[in-house]
Structure 1
Amino acid sequence: MLPVIIVGAGPTGLALALALARQGVPSHVLEPGDGRVDQRPARSCVLPPDVAHWAGLPGAADRATTWHAWRTTLRGRTRERVEYAAGTAPTHLPLDALEHALRLAAAGRRLIRIDTRSRLSGIEQDARGVTAYVYRGDRDAGAGREEKVTGSHLVGCDGARSTVRKLLRVPFAGRTSVERHAVAALRADLPDPATAALHRALPAAHGPVDEVVVRPLGDRQWRLDWPLPTGEELVTPEALLDLVNRTLTAWHDGDIPPYDLLDTGVYLCHQRLARHWRAGRVFLAGDAAHLLGALGTQQTAEGLRDADNLAWKLALDWHHGDADALLDTYERERRGAVGARLRAVDQALPLVRGRGGIGALLPGREHSRLTLLGDAPLGRGALGEPGTYPQPRSRYGVAVSTEPGAVIDDLPVTALNGDRGQLHDLFGGPHLLVLTAPGAGVWDACHWLSAGLMPELAGVVKRLPVEAELLVADSYPGAPAHTLLVVRPDGRLAAALPGSAISELVRYAHTLRGPAEQPPAVTGRD
């Protein structure tokens, strides 16, 4: 069988390759660079709980830190402090640590092939697969050759200047430079080492700091971000050092504490969205499909959500075929979610960053600013929630605390062989069917395997047209006893059904394989 071709070996591309491998699908990753990962402590990413499993890979876990709380201050006084409940805190780690861990994991999988110095120059596709024209070697020096690589599908994870997107002639609408930030990574002893914080109008000995976000990175390391005025004014090293010193004096009674400056930089936040994410057997993901980052939104996290969403759908089509309608839902779900996030940023920016005008006279504006700036790190509202994908409604559906299409809560589950674990640890594999059965956590599996609905459900699961695993849990918030939770491989609740609604479960499984109209083939050459 042909592999899935993945263009780009950044976090999104490598995560997609690993997610496909877990589903038994081979991939061929094409990387134009030499495979080296630049170490830049000032480049980090914040991963919300629904994608934080990627930070648990060997090589990343020891450099990741999970925050205990979020604090917002105004003029040095705390206006809000939120302690993260178990399972709700984001994970913060250097981007190079995540990339290194993904490469390490990919190198150990026989289903993943990574070719460096391989630059895409053209795409052709038909009903059977995709052909990628790849130039191997140094094209500028004339040292190399063009080859053909064939695959079942192709996914462009090749960044903001995506060659795949350009070959498909897909518009990349939006705005650039909606926010500009100075950033520094340093090692120092700062207050509240497990708390991330936003400080506005921070009083300092040598002049106030308008705004700074401080995020712990672990091992006494911190990332500090300061929003800069819009424009092209050069940020000199001296100006950035002054920002660091003024900020530190505010927390140390006017004195500059000992610190090691590890890295600095200036980065721009863009707002862009590709018009289409699918053209036949070719898809866009990550930076190739969208750009965001203003007001604390996290581009890396959105790229990982793309990978989790697309992988299981590609896998089902790769193994069984006839999943065209399911593949269409990738663009509908992910582009819809990212588009909603971009619209929320567009609506919030004038309030948060605007100066003067009639809005400045409105009561409560500063409170609204602080609330909006805390939404993304707290995972709340349109800026921070992982989003809910629209799902077909079932006439047999049972109302539970989680809306269909949202990320399901984590809970202890028991497999049919008696193994116990956490539900979230099983994401990325087959569909999960969780039956709520009070007392299941107490009794040995041999007592309930032959009782009630279990024998019939176990038999039906074996005959479903998609792979699924049956699990049992004591309960789920808002769910009556003997509710069957249908959980997609990306951790989203597909449906909550009465355990006896066997026909509805079978109907759902068959809809995943439903055909759709095949879009016209797209061909491009560079």
Structure 2
Amino acid sequence: MFTHVRRDLRTGRGRRAVDPVIIVGAGPVGLTLALALARQEVPSVVLDEGPGKDDPRPARTVVLREDTAALLTRLSGAPLDDLGVRWTGWRSMRRRQVLREVVFDDAGEPAPLHIAQHVLTNALRTAIADEPLVKVVTDSRLDTVEQERSGVTAHTRGPRGTWWRGSYLVGCDGPRSTVRKLLDIRFPGRTAVERHAVAALRTELPWPGQALLHRTPPWRMSGPSAGEVTARPLPDGVWRLDWLLPPGKDLVTPELLVTRIRETLAGWTGGTTPPYDLLDTGVHTVHHRLARRWRVGRVFVAGDAAHLLGALGTHGLDEGLRDVDNLAWKLAPAWHHGPHEALLDSYQTERRTAVAARLRAADQVLPVLRGGGALRGFVPGTSRGHDALLADGHLGHGPLGAPGAYADSPLAPRHLEHEIPVDTPPGTPVTDVRVTAEDGSFVQLRSRLGRGALLVVLVAPGTGVWDRKHWVSAGIMPRLAAAVTALPHPAELLVSETYPGAPAHTVLLVRPDGHLVTALNGVRPADLYAAAEATLGGKDRDRTEQAEDTEVAEETERTERAEQRSGAGAEAGSRTR
């Protein structure tokens, strides 16, 4: 039996037991969602089609940007920097010329984190093993989804085939998503946008710790080649190398790939192939697809089940993790207090719009960078400028790589009288400044995200050099604290000495996923309340006593149907509550 008692977020009083969230798929996206929900006291059942472990594949890796790496570190508690590699630098080359070189350090641009996917997945599984609110069920393949107003029923086949009952269901089950197919959601897009031959090998290269994008290298390559190769470092002297393949279905044989490795290593090291140990190979095909709908009633899709992207250096896992960050904090209040349709609907609106913008940007730039001369007028500039666009995708910059903004979100507040501009536009991720927490400790702003609470940040220069007890009850603090307490959702009050572009006494309202709601000129309780209310979807909450009665009636009807399907005795032994 898997039962959890729902608790009121403000009073902590227990409420009636409710069904967990069913998560279909135990990849990085599904496991991250389970942890994100658990941090907000929401139980989940993860249906894993496989045996519960991933085979090592060194050539299957992921590159995480600053925000997604911080999300995974915060949720898993794992030392991801020790399990992967933070790039020390990046260089773009064309033939023998270095076009762009970036050095990553603590004071400058944040370094991407490169990690093998099976290592990341194992770290998430380890974190879940110690989480009592998450139940992972292996060898369970979904084949049926039914839903009513009050919940979702799913059936799995396999050695542990049974019926499962959930409050919501999220399909994180990859490109061939069963959830998406059962809901009859269209998944249009383009197939085989790019293909790459991939190899993971242990060797020494002239730029330890740096990633390299090399276009039109000066040496001849055997077999099909589009004249582009990428090298990314991994731990223990391992590198992942990707060769862009021309359009078509040319076969990449093991012999041809070994020849390509030797030619590339010799070209980079001055003509002689250095010793290397080949660990893994493969062919990576990039597709661009976007699901028409991301929500159908109480069922959602996320990650590769909702979108596929990855051309021009962009990485789909980043967007899948941002799906999780966006959805988890919206499911949590729905689970604790009942569904708020505007808040749940905003998941599709915000995330689908953000991913669609990246797909559009890649599709527009792709023909230019891959030789589509007829379209060059739409992306002006020299080949050096085109290389910069391609590097943006790899480094997480611009429309090809930067985290999406929710400026036009239905949750954005309108017509706030005292709103002021800061360097972070509303709807974009906040800067990770140092803040003083309510207990007086100094922490990074990002460390307070993901707990389901809104964050209210007061910019107060000078507070960092004084003990908190001297200023917490002085000036505008008592009035601000009272305003925060009165908000329609739990919120945490933080204080920062500075924030980019914000004058003294600016008050920032930040969503649980780290996107800025608004910046206010001073303590403005009415505007702060209105902004918080808008962030939760407005006033039209549809959780009523009538809905509670409807749930009870539907629970009875559902039980009768389940007994007809499998018998009352079998049903009583297999249901998870």
TM range (shorter): over 0.9
Deviation sequence 1:172-222 (CA, Å, 0-9, x none) = 010110100001111111122122111112123777982111111132111
Q: Name the CA distance, whole Å, in 2 between partners of 1:358 and 1:455.
A: 59
1:510 and 2:520 equivalent? no
* Partner residue in 2 for 1:396: 418
For the 8 Å contact 1:9–1:157, the answer to whether it is kept is: yes
Query: Which residue pairs with 1:141 in the alignment?
Result: none
Aligned to 2:140: 118
In structure 2, what is the Cα distance between the partners aligned to 1:247 and 1:496?
A: 51
Q: What is the SS of the residue equivalent to 1:40?
A: coil
Partner secondary structure for residue 34 of structure 1: coil
Matched residue of 1:92: which SS? strand
Hey, what does 1:74 align to over in structure 2?
Answer: 94
Contact 1:204–1:249 (CA under 8 A) maintained in structure 2:
no
Q: Deviations over 1:485-524 (max 9, x none)?
A: 1111111111111231111111222331533789xxxx9x
Q: Structure 2 counterpart of 1:313, which letter?
A: K
What's the CA shift for 1:124?
1.7
Residue 408 of structure 1: aligned partner: 430
Deviations 1:318-340 (A, max 9, x none): 12225221111111110000001
Higher strand share: 1
Give me the whole-angstrom Cα distance separating, in 1, the residues matched to 2:435 and 2:200.
40
Counterpart CA distance in 1 for 2:356 and 2:402 is 13
Q: Aligned partners of 2:155 and 2:521: how far apart in 1?
A: 51
Measured in 2, the distance between the counterparts of 1:82 and 1:278 equals 40
What's 1:302 paired with? Answer: 319
Equivalent position of 1:21 in the other structure:
38
Residue aligning to 1:244: 261
Indicate the larger mover: 147-156 or 60-69: 60-69
1:35-73 CA-to-partner distances (Å, cap 9, x unmatched) read 121210100001111101255342643221111222111
Question: Partners of 1:30 and 1:507 in 2: how far apart?
Answer: 39
Whole-Å separation in 1 of the counterparts to 2:380 and 2:39: 53
Which residue of structure 2 aligns with residue 140 of structure 1?
Answer: none
Matched letter for residue 81 of structure 1: E
> What do residues 439-467 of structure 1 show as CA deviations (whole Å, max 9, x unaligned)?
11111000111011211222232332211
Aligned 8 A contact 1:11 1:99 in 2: yes
Instruction: Output the amino acid matched with 1:71.
Output: R
Quote the offset at 1:364 in angstroms.
4.5
Match of 2:208 in 1: 193
Aligned counterpart, 1:162: 177
Change (3 A) 1:344 1:357: closer
- Matched ranges for 1:278-357 at <5 A: 278-354=295-371
SS at 1:389 equivalent: coil
Render the CA deviation track for 1:383-439: whole Å, top value 9, x for unaligned.
011121123343321100001111111111101221111111222112211100011
CA, structure 1 residues 358+323, in 2 after alignment: closer, same or farther (shift >3 Å)? closer
Cα offset, 1:151, TM superposition: 1.3
SS at structure 1 position matched to 2:99: strand
Match of 2:232 in 1: 215
Do the aligned partners of 1:67 and 1:91 also contact (CA within 8 Å) in 2? yes
SS of the equivalent of 1:89 reads: coil
Structure 1 residue 78: deviation in Å? 0.5
Contact 2:340 2:542 in 1 (8 A): no
For residues 487-506 of structure 1, the aligned pairs below 5 Å read 487-506=510-529
Amino acid at match of 2:31: L
CA distance in 2 between counterparts of 1:491 and 1:239 reads 47
Q: Distance in 1 between matches of 2:209 and 2:216?
A: 22
Would you say 1:101 and 2:123 are equivalent positions?
Answer: yes
In structure 2, C-alpha distance between the alignment counterparts of 1:490 and 1:202, rounded to whole Å: 42
Q: Do the aligned partners of residues 209 and 247 (structure 1) sit closer, same or farther apart at CA in structure 2, a change above 3 Å counting?
A: farther
Matched residue, 1:467: 490
How far 1:356 sits from its partner (Å)? 5.8
Confirm or deny that 1:83 pairs with 2:97.
Answer: no
Q: How far off is 1:378 after superposition?
A: 2.3
**Structure 1 counterpart of 2:216, one-letter code:** A
Question: Unaligned 5+ residue runs, structure 1?
Answer: 138-143
Q: Any gaps of 5 or more consecutive residues in structure 2?
A: 1-17, 544-557, 559-577
Look up the match of 1:442: 465
Does the aligned pair in 1 maintain the 2:81–2:113 contact within 8 Å?
no
Q: Does structure 1 conserve the Cα–Cα contact (< 8 Å) formed by 2:226 and 2:244?
A: no
For 2:375 and 2:299, locate their aligned partners in 1 and report how far apart those are by CA, in whole Å: 47
The aligned residue for residue 15 of structure 2 is none
Summarize the Cα distance change of 1:87–1:81 in structure 2 as closer, same or farther, 3 Å threshold: closer
Quick one: distance in 1 between partners of 2:526 and 2:509?
A: 13
Q: 2: CA distance between counterparts of 1:258 and 1:292?
A: 35
Q: TM-score, normalised by structure 2?
A: 0.85
Deviations 1:294-348 (A, max 9, x none): 1111111111010011000101211222522111111111000000111111101
Is 1:457 the counterpart of 2:480 in the alignment?
Answer: yes
